[in-house]
Each structure stands twice: as C-alpha cells, then as structure tokens.
Structure 1
Amino acid sequence: MANALSSSSLLSPTPIKLSTTVSPPSHHHLRRHTINSTTSSSNSINIKPLNFTRRQTIGFGLCLTLSDAAAVSPPPSSAAAESTACEFTVADSGLAFCDKLVGYGSQPVKGQLIKAHYVGKLENGKVFDSSYNRGKPLTFRIGVGEVIKGWDEGILGGNGVPPMLAGGKRTLKLPPQLGYGMRGAGCKGGSCIIPPDSVLLFDVEFIGKA
C-alpha cells in the first residue's frame, strides 16, 4: 500500500501475487489479501484483494487499476511549506523522513485505529497506489504490524523519528528492509508492481484517530 486491493492492503509486509481471476475488488485496505487481475472498467486492469490476512492487506493497498496507478499524481499542494524542496533526515533504521507540514493535533498511540491518506511511489517516481485516487483514507491500527515497518515507524515515531501529529503531512523514504525487501510485491511471471529490493516513497497525510 494498487489495483483494487481493499483499503487495508497497501502496506502489508507479505508479497502479493497476481492471478487472472475476474472478480470485484474488496475494500479493507490494510488486511491480508491476494491480488487478482480483473477488468474493472472499459480497458483498465484492476488488482483486487483476494485472500490476504489483515496484516498483509494493510501492507499493500493496491486499490488502483494498473493503468490508473501510472496516471495518478498527488493532490495539488495548497501549503507554501509543501512547495519547498524536502530535505530528508535519516534515522538509525535507515528510514528517511521530511515533514512538509507539521500537524496541529494529537500524536498517534500504539494500537490506536487511525486514518491516513497517502501516495505511494517507486524511487523513479512511478505511482503504484494512492488513497486519494479512491477518495477514502486508509484505516489501520498503528504500531502493531498491520502495515509495513516503515509506516509504523514513520507515523508512530521511534528510532529517532518524531511522531506525526494529526493534520501533518510527511514524506517517507523506505529502504527495502522497511518495505517489501527482496521479495517485492504484486509479482507474476517475472514482473512485479513493486520490484524486489525497491526503495519506496510515500507522501503521508495523518488525518488522526479513526
């Protein structure tokens, strides 16, 4: 966390496999599913959630069609702070982060159900998932392994990373070990939506407690 995986599938640490079964996408973005290639619109291919556990699906919410994912771009920036170049700070874990907009609300608590919008990109800038495209934020429990490690650390904080505050916007740069590692995700026939050993970039907007 994206063809139509449920809203709880994007950030799962478990790799997602594609199949050619046609079926409607489900929406539990950060729960364990598998992804199917299904025709959801006239000529776009959707990746939908299959049988992943909550942890898997929360980790990889590919709820976009493959064609839509390539065309998705982050929502227009309205804050001056977001228009400036983002200078990353690198934590001991290897996670890099940059606050584009510091929040004004409360910080998340481990185990709390929270909501966040995001755009996920490969290091080359290619978008592979976006909650904005679906018009619905991702809901998941923070700090309990429902999402990939880089998300828990990048939002909840720890290892030198300050916690996000509600209303804040942060860019996270995840090394492979905090994302999908050497397995990649969404792989079929030697091709992966997220290739093995990928560095991932996420623009995250922490909305707050769900």
Structure 2
Amino acid sequence: MGTSLKSTGLSTLNYEALLKGLKDAFAGAKVALTQQQAQQYINDAITKASAVKTKAENEANKIKFAPMIKEGQEFLEENKKRAGVQTTASGLQYEVLTAGTGVKPTATDSVLVHYKGTLLNGKQFDSSYDRGEPISFPLNRVIPGWTEGVQLMPAGSKYKFFIPYHLAYGERGAGADIPPYSALIFEVELLKVNGK
C-alpha cells in the first residue's frame, strides 16, 4: 500500500489516522468517514500530489531540454526575418509555397492533406508522401499549430509551417522521434476540405 501511494506523488500521510481507519474497519467499529467521503479525500489528495509531481517533472525537463528550447527560439527568431515568412500572434510561422484558390477550412472541418514533418535538424519523423496516400482528419484533433495554420490555407495550397514547441507537442514530445520541447517544420498540402 505504501509503495502504491508513494508512486502517486504523495509525500506525507497522517499515519495515525490511516492506522486508526484500518483498525476500525477491520474491527467493524464506527469509522470517522463514510466509504464515499474517504474515497473523495483520497482522490483529492492524489490529484493534488500528482499535479505537484507533474509540475516538478516539467520543471526538471525544462532544465534538461533548455538547449533544445533555446535552439527552437533562435531558429524561429532568425526564420521570421526571411522574405516570405509570416508570423501569427500565437508565434506560428508560415510560408506560402503554392497559393490555392479553394475554400478555407474552419477548425471543425475535416481536411484531406499530404504532409511531411521534420525536426529543425532536418530529420524527418513522418510523411504521408512516403506512405503513398494523403490522410483525412478533423482540424480540431491535431496539434494547435496545425489547427491554426491549416485554417489559413485555401484548398489547393501548399504551405510550410514553422511551429514553436508550445503549438506542437509541448513538454511531452511525441513517441521516440519527437523529443520534448521540439519546434517542428511541416510542409502541408491541403488537397480538399471535407466539411464537418
């Protein structure tokens, strides 16, 4: 029980109250809390402890990945000076490679796209081109940089997006190929707006 509770992030317990509760429950004596009240207190304590643990882990990761964060910030700072690169209020950068003339999607639309994603060092982590077929998905179910960026595109367009980590996979990263705090580059071709 102790190991299990500690793994949730709890750092202290009122051992006397815990032991009294165990003894009372075993003896069938009157207990201080109902089962429902006890469960609520436990859930609240674990939620609070988990939030503290997550915050501490994020702070440690921020220190560990500080060079990556700095690299992304420096890249985006230089990149926005290039001709043709536009920056939105959120920090998303984009470059129009091919201007389409179709309709622009909304955040609740599903879209059909071809795309290629790379890290700043050029390492490719995903490509629908390599798989040989485009992909459809709802725009509100992807990273924020995609949700915002693809809405800027008329169908038939091809854009290049430069996405800061907070609009990509943030402090988590994604799988083995996208480390935490990674700024990402995507080439996206909007083939069709499927609608709602």
TM range (shorter): 0.5 to 0.7
| Equivalent residues in 2 for 1:97-112, closer than 5 Å | 97-112=94-109
Structure 2: segments with no counterpart, 5+ residues = 1-81
Give the structure with higher Rg (CA).
2
Specify which of 150, 174, 193 is matched with residue 177 of structure 2: 193
Partner of 2:126: 129
Distance 1:148 1:89, change over 3 A: same
Letter of the structure 2 residue corresponding to residue 129 of structure 1: D
1:86/1:100 contact within 8 Å kept: no
Specify which of 96, 111, 116 is matched with residue 93 of structure 2: 96
Letter of the structure 2 residue corresponding to residue 171 of structure 1: K
CA deviation after TM superposition for structure 1 residue 110, in Å? 3.2
Structure 1 CA distance for aligned equivalents of residues 113 and 181 of structure 2: 25
Structure 2 CA distance for aligned equivalents of residues 87 and 194 of structure 1: 27
CA deviation after TM superposition for structure 1 residue 86, in Å? 6.5
Q: Partner of 1:152: helix, strand, or coil?
A: helix
Distance 1:207 1:176, change over 3 A: same
Structure 1: segments with no counterpart, 5+ residues = 1-84, 157-162, 187-191
Partner of 1:178: 167
Q: Partner of 2:102: helix, strand, or coil?
A: coil
| Equivalent residues in 2 for 1:26-41, closer than 5 Å | none
2:165/2:183 contact within 8 Å kept: yes
| Equivalent residues in 2 for 1:29-178, closer than 5 Å | 87-142=84-139, 144=140, 146-156=141-151, 163-178=152-167
Letter of the structure 2 residue corresponding to residue 132 of structure 1: Y
The percentage of aligned residue pairs carrying the same residue is 42
CA deviation after TM superposition for structure 1 residue 206, in Å? 0.3
Structure 2 CA distance for aligned equivalents of residues 182 and 203 of structure 1: 23
The root-mean-square deviation of aligned C-alpha atoms, in Å, is: 1.4
Task: Count residues with an aligned counterpart.
Answer: 113
Structure 2 CA distance for aligned equivalents of residues 169 and 198 of structure 1: 23
Q: State the TM-score, normalized to the length of structure 1.
A: 0.51
Quick check: which one's strand share is greater?
1
Structure 1 CA distance for aligned equivalents of residues 132 and 113 of structure 2: 12
